[in-house]
Structure 1
Amino acid sequence: MSHRMEIGRPERSHDDQCKVLESSVAHLVFLLSRSIKKRSLPRASTAPLPLLPPPPPLWSLATSLSIAQVAAASIAMAVQPSMETQAPGNSSPPKDGRSAEEKAVEDWLPINASRNAKWWYSAFHNVTAMVGAGVLGLPYAMSELGWGAGIAVLVLSWVITLYTLWQMVEMHEMVPGRRFDRYHELGQYAFGEKLGLWIVVPQQLIVEVGVNIVYMVTGGTSLKKFHDTVCEDCKSIKLTYFIMIFASVHFVLSQLPNFNSISGVSLAAAVMSLSYSTIAWGASVDKGKLEDVDYSLRATTTPGKVFGFLGALGTVAFAYAGHNVVLEIQATIPSTPEKPSKKPMWRGVVVAYIVVAVCYFPVSLVGYWAFGNRVDSDILITLSRPKWLIALANLMVVIHVIGSYQIYAMPVFDMIETVLVKRLKFPPGLTLRLIARTVYVAFTMFIAITFPFFDGLLSFFGGFAFAPTTYFLPCIMWLAIYKPKRFGLSWFTNWICIVLGVLLMVLAPIGGLRNIILNAKTYKFYQ
């Protein structure tokens, strides 16, 4: 009797206690199974829960607590392998949800294949991407702009593009644990999966394919100039054949799998760009200013001056084209939370932009100072002595644009192979790479042979595609993602870049298209 008063409950038989224990354990198993299902399934089930007997009173659980704990521990140990198998974080596939096969495909693609680059890789990759055919046309652009407008456009373009390039580097891994390895991936994050793809991919393809076409023309033209300089008495060979010779090199080099595999080619190209730029302005100084040099605008009519001005804007825009491959270059640099890739990448970008300034400004200003409005669209054509130096410079241009072609072709290869492997389910391998890349090189060669108008191509592609991807698209992404304070410094800076970039995109292609039409009137195709 005293025992019943102490505990506060009636005496129960052994059978009653067993029934209470069974009910407690059954309820505990039910709770554990629900917890396991919630952890193992991606979404909670919408099916109605089964009805169970109500849980036993608290005093009954207290009586059988020690036995229930032992049972719960046994159940947990029994279901642990199942939890480890079903939980996404502990399963054999990668933590991002991709299967082993999908990860293998990603690692095979050119952009993701290697992530062990150093900061100086980004330096010479960016120099190779930036300094190229554009620098040779800058004195010609100066002759269309004049001293004041020409210097202003050059300086403003250098500052704006350095700022937008910094934005791209910062946004590469702004989301913890994720890297935007491709330009269109960043666009999809900023604008949405479908809209971002349609905004970025067409423009990026126009830029990269356009650059490859222009570099086909540049390589063939410089190769022809080299031949004509070293062998004046030789029979003249058509430009078409030199473009084909230049393309034959790319049929081989295009089989290199990724960015790091072309690092040697890119380094040689970067050295060549600095070398032939120095030769261009050095030879101009040696030649001296023409006696009757004229610094007035090249065109004599008002429409000619207007169209020439617009075309020159496109030529300058073409000279700052590295943004289209900057994320792909940064993707090759290793990154950890303690040492993010943006630090070595930015160091390389700063070095690259110093080299850009050393190349662009002397060539532009000295070339225009020496020849005025009589400078050719390629300043090396204007220079005629000393012959050995001009021949060497043209050969350097050929080597440089070989590397530049590969830098701009690699993201295109990545897009093509992604579609073939992921969408069309072609097996990845050497055969796929050989066929796809060979067809692409042949396509750019064919277009270059068909439209070898160097200055017109610079202006048209520079304004139509380079202006968006270089001057204002990074700013729009920055505003969409970071949402800076309205009317603040960042907000104003980005909107100024957007307005100038849109004007450049609208106006510059007009002049370039006019030059193409004028050249096409006197050009005989495939002759």
Structure 2
Amino acid sequence: MHNTQNMIDEISSAATTQNMIDEISSAATTTTVSHHQDVSLYDEEGSPKRTGTMWMTSSYIITAVIGSGTLSLAWSIAQLGWSGGLVVMIFGLVTLYTSHFLANSYRAGDPITGKRSYTYMEAVDNILGGKNSIFCGIIQYANLYGTSIGYTIAAAISMMTITKTNCIHSSRENKTCHVSGNRYIIWFGAIQLVFSQIPNFHKMRWLSILASVMSFTYSLIGLALGIAQVSENRGFKGTIAGAEAETHAKKVWAIFQALGNIAFAYSFSDILIEIQDTIKSPLKVRTMKRAINLSIATTTTFYVLCGCIGYGAFGNSAPGNLLTAFDKPFWLVDIANLTLLIQLAGAYQVYSQPLFAFIEERATKKWEILGKEHKVQIPFLSSYNLNIFRLVWRSLYVVVSTVIAMLIPFFNDILGVIGALGFWPLSVYFSVEMHIKQKKIPKWSGSWILLQSLSMFCLMVTLAALVGSIVGVLLDLKTYKPFSANL
């Protein structure tokens, strides 16, 4: 279950960005302003005016990045040794640098009057054109779909951990408790069948606030438990070289995967443009950059603390999910896992909604009848606009995701493959290329060489992480059985 638990790092990089989807739902498509609407409420392109501030934007980014992945950083640092904390900070600087480039790409051409981009794909299409946007879309939506499957497994692990800790406590540690995860995966899938029929989340701001509170709650609990363990140990564990492996090859694969995990934990580029689109005019770029600076500084500090304290507490045996290392105080561990479960329930929808909207928008454009809605009156609640296509396809989406999670509960390594594939193109390559195009940087100039060198370095890291994750998949296939998620 070691690799299954480590899956949480890959799915994190991003956790709970509910309000981002709130704005995506209303801003992703241009709305035509009718004569009876108040024109002052809309921008020059007919979309509702944005109201976001620097603090709101920072909270979006922080809650997107500081998520369940925080709990897995101890394992990543364990593979790298105490130098892992430095590696975390290096990736933070790279993300900070390239995110500023992407913030400048919100409008094509002139930063004030240039064509606005509502999504990452639109930004790539408006600036680079050609087939770049298609490539961007494939990588972006593959990451979103993989993340939804990863959340399903992570939620099951949380429920399994609660059951196991309660079992150990009730038996006064007199028996070994084994828990099967299949029923929990099904339960989580059933919950998502209902949530997935919500057309959008732009009226559910409470979910964003709740998810944000939950992510900080379980992260702080994990940090506190780690500090308590260090105190009990009367010192820090761990080595400079990190965890040992059976062979040198396995050590290399583990290091590669750890690098990919840390890089992916910082990745929020696939939603950065969508976040920026929530900021009120006219200082979108300046506000976004200030928010990025604050957010990356906060997340890097949090990552180094949680990762290093977790590694110091358990040394080279640090688990993939820090919370699974504790069974007492059982009530506090239960609270941490419950808050993680609540966050994942909402986060699943956060990362699924853009894909839902993408498919439905294109389907209704081609077959208009698919967009037809039927008003259904729900007792004690307001009426619901039922769309048959939405009902069928979203239900199918959830069912398939649930079955895949049950079929290969070690999906963390496959998700690592998707995460590795996404880091370089989404966080670095497109950001750098759009910056070069926007600033008209001459080829082979000093700046061009430095930017391309950064891109190539990140590409090598991505390839290394990709190899490490693929090796992890192959190793898991030798030991795991289908439909066998156990703890």
Give the TM-score, by structure 1 length: 0.72
- Give the Cα separation in 1 of the matches to 2:267 and 2:58: 15
- Give the Cα separation in 2 of the matches to 1:97 and 1:168: 22
Q: In structure 2, what is the equivalent of residue 147 of structure 1?
A: 82
- Give the Cα separation in 1 of the matches to 2:209 and 2:424: 27
Q: Is the aligned partner of 1:342 residue 2:279?
A: no
1:412–1:226 distance in 2 versus 1, CA, 3 Å: same
Structure 1 residue corresponding to 2:143, chosen from 182, 204, 207:
207
SS state of the match for residue 150, structure 2? Answer: helix
Contact 2:106 2:116 survives alignment (8 Å): yes
1:267–1:342 distance in 2 versus 1, CA, 3 Å: farther
- Give the Cα separation in 1 of the matches to 2:60 and 2:191: 19
Unaligned runs of 5+ in 2: 1-28, 35-45, 172-176, 374-385
1:134–1:196 distance in 2 versus 1, CA, 3 Å: same
Structure 1 residue corresponding to 2:277, chosen from 331, 334, 338:
331
- Give the Cα separation in 2 of the matches to 1:266 and 1:438: 23
SS state of the match for residue 461, structure 2? Answer: helix
Q: Is the aligned partner of 1:370 residue 2:274?
A: no
Q: Is the aligned partner of 1:186 residue 2:127?
A: no
- Structure in which a larger fraction of residues adopt helix: 1
Q: Is the aligned partner of 1:304 residue 2:261?
A: no
How far is 1:209 from its partner? 1.1
Contact 1:208 1:409 survives alignment (8 Å): yes
- Give the Cα separation in 2 of the matches to 1:400 and 1:325: 18
- Give the Cα separation in 2 of the matches to 1:402 and 1:512: 26
- Give the Cα separation in 1 of the matches to 2:307 and 2:121: 33
Cα RMSD, aligned residues only: 2.9
- Give the Cα separation in 2 of the matches to 1:327 and 1:258: 19
Structure 2 residue corresponding to 1:248, chosen from 190, 195, 206:
190
* One-letter code aligned to 2:186: M
* One-letter code aligned to 2:278: T
1:369–1:455 distance in 2 versus 1, CA, 3 Å: farther
How far is 1:460 from its partner? 2.3
1:447–1:118 distance in 2 versus 1, CA, 3 Å: same
SS state of the match for residue 116, structure 2? Answer: coil
How far is 1:280 from its partner? 1.1
Q: In structure 2, what is the equivalent of residue 125 of structure 1?
A: 60
SS state of the match for residue 171, structure 1? Answer: coil
Structure 2 residue corresponding to 1:359, chosen from 289, 296, 302:
302
Q: In structure 2, what is the equivalent of residue 477 of structure 1?
A: 434
* One-letter code aligned to 1:129: A
How far is 1:279 from its partner? 1.2
1:367–1:219 distance in 2 versus 1, CA, 3 Å: same
1:116–1:436 distance in 2 versus 1, CA, 3 Å: farther
SS state of the match for residue 165, structure 1? Answer: helix
Contact 1:324 1:469 survives alignment (8 Å): yes
Q: In structure 2, what is the equivalent of residue 260 of structure 1?
A: 202
Q: In structure 2, what is the equivalent of residue 228 of structure 1?
A: 164
How far is 1:485 from its partner? 4.8
Contact 2:78 2:238 survives alignment (8 Å): no
Q: Is the aligned partner of 1:397 residue 2:340?
A: yes
How far is 1:366 from its partner? 0.6
Deviations 1:317-339 (A, max 9, x none): 2211211112123333443xxx2
Structure 2 residue corresponding to 1:162, chosen from 96, 101, 113:
96
With a CA cutoff of 8 Å and minimum separation of 6, indicate the structure with the bigger relative contact order.
2
Q: Is the aligned partner of 1:318 residue 2:275?
A: no
Structure 2 residue corresponding to 1:441, chosen from 394, 398, 408:
398
Contact 2:60 2:275 survives alignment (8 Å): yes
* One-letter code aligned to 2:64: A
- Give the Cα separation in 1 of the matches to 2:466 and 2:115: 37
How far is 1:521 from its partner? 1.9
Give the TM-score, by structure 2 length: 0.78
1:439–1:113 distance in 2 versus 1, CA, 3 Å: farther
How far is 1:420 from its partner? 0.9
1:380–1:185 distance in 2 versus 1, CA, 3 Å: same
1:214–1:113 distance in 2 versus 1, CA, 3 Å: farther
* One-letter code aligned to 1:420: A
How far is 1:513 from its partner? 1.7
Q: In structure 1, what is the equivalent of residue 40 of structure 2?
A: none
- Give the Cα separation in 1 of the matches to 2:393 and 2:104: 33
- Give the Cα separation in 1 of the matches to 2:342 and 2:355: 21
Deviations 1:381-439 (A, max 9, x none): 12232211111111121122223322222221221112211234332544133333332
Q: In structure 1, what is the equivalent of residue 448 of structure 2?
A: 491
- Give the Cα separation in 2 of the matches to 1:161 and 1:145: 20
Unaligned runs of 5+ in 1: 1-95, 102-111
How far is 1:130 from its partner? 1.6
- Give the Cα separation in 1 of the matches to 2:274 and 2:200: 10
- Give the Cα separation in 2 of the matches to 1:462 and 1:290: 35
